[in-house]
C-alpha cells in the first residue's frame, strides 16, 4: 500500500517549490547585491515556483501513470491554467497594485498639504498593496523548465 512518503508526484512538486523559492535569493543578490531571505516566502520573481511546482507534478504524473493517462491530462491542463494565471492575471493585479499605491501616496500628500491650510480632513493611513504578485513570461518559462528537470532527476533517483 503506497504511503504519503512514497508519493513521488507530491514530493516532486513540493521540492520544486522549495528549490524555486531558494533559487530566488541568489538571483536577486546578483541583480541588487543585497541578500534578502524574505524572498524564500514571497510571490513573484525569478523563477516562478508556481510553474516549477505544476510542471514537476505533471512530469511526475507522466512518469508514474503514463502520458496517455487521464491523470496526466488533468495535470497538464491544471499546469497550463496555473502558468497562464501566474503570467497574466496575477501580473496585472501587481501592476494595478502599483498604480493604486501611487494614488494613495498622492492622496496622502494632498491631505498633508491641506493641513497647512488649517483644514482638518479625516486621515486614514492606507496599507501598501503587494505589487510583486505575478511573473514575467520568462520567469514562468524558467520555472517550468526547473520543474520538469527537477522532477526527471528525482524520478531517476527515486527508482
pLDDT in tens, 35-44: 888 877 877 7
Greater model confidence, 62 or 6: 62
- The answer on pLDDT for 121 being more than 60 is no
Helices (H), 2-136: 8-32, 49-65, 70-87, 89-115
Q: What pTM value is reported for the model?
A: 0.70
Q: Which of 150, 118, 133, 123 is nearest to 87 (CA)?
A: 133
DSSP 8-class letter at 126: P
Cβ(77)–Cβ(125) under 8 Å?
no
**pLDDT tens digits along 72-82:** 999 999 999 98
What does the pLDDT read at residue 51? 93
Q: Answer yes or no: are the C-beta atoms of 45 and 39 closer than 8 Å.
A: yes
Q: Is the pLDDT of residue 118 over 80?
A: no
Burial class, 52, CB count within 10 angstroms (exposed 0-12 / middle 13-18 / buried 19+): buried
Mean pLDDT within 5-10: 90
Give the rounded percent of residues in the chain with a pLDDT score beyond 90: 37
Evaluate the CA torsion angle 137, 76, 24, 91 in order and state its sign: positive
Q: Give the pLDDT score at 91.
A: 63
Residue 131: what pLDDT? 53
* pLDDT of 130 strictly over 90: no
CA dist 3 and 80 (Å) reads 28
Mean pLDDT calculated for residue range 104-124: 67
pLDDT of residue 126: 63
Amino acid at each position: 500500500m503506497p504511503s504519503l512518503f512514497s508519493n513521488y508526484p507530491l514530493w516532486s512538486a513540493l521540492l520544486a517549490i522549495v528549490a524555486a523559492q531558494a533559487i530566488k535569493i541568489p538571483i536577486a543578490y546578483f541583480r541588487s547585491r543585497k541578500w534578502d531571505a524574505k524572498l524564500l516566502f514571497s510571490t513573484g520573481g525569478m523563477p516562478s515556483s508556481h510553474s516549477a511546482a505544476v510542471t514537476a507534478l505533471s512530469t511526475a504524473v507522466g512518469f508514474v501513470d503514463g502520458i496517455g493517462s487521464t491523470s496526466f491530462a488533468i495535470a497538464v491542463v491544471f499546469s497550463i491554467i496555473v502558468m497562464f494565471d501566474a503570467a497574466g492575471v496575477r501580473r496585472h493585479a501587481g501592476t494595478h497594485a502599483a498604480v493604486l499605491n501611487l494614488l494613495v501616496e498622492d492622496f496622502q500628500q494632498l491631505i498633508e498639504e491641506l493641513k497647512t491650510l488649517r483644514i482638518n480632513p479625516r486621515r486614514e493611513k492606507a496599507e501598501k498593496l503587494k505589487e510583486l504578485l505575478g511573473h514575467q513570461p520568462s520567469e514562468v518559462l524558467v520555472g517550468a523548465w526547473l520543474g520538469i528537470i527537477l522532477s526527471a532527476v528525482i524520478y531517476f533517483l527515486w527508482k
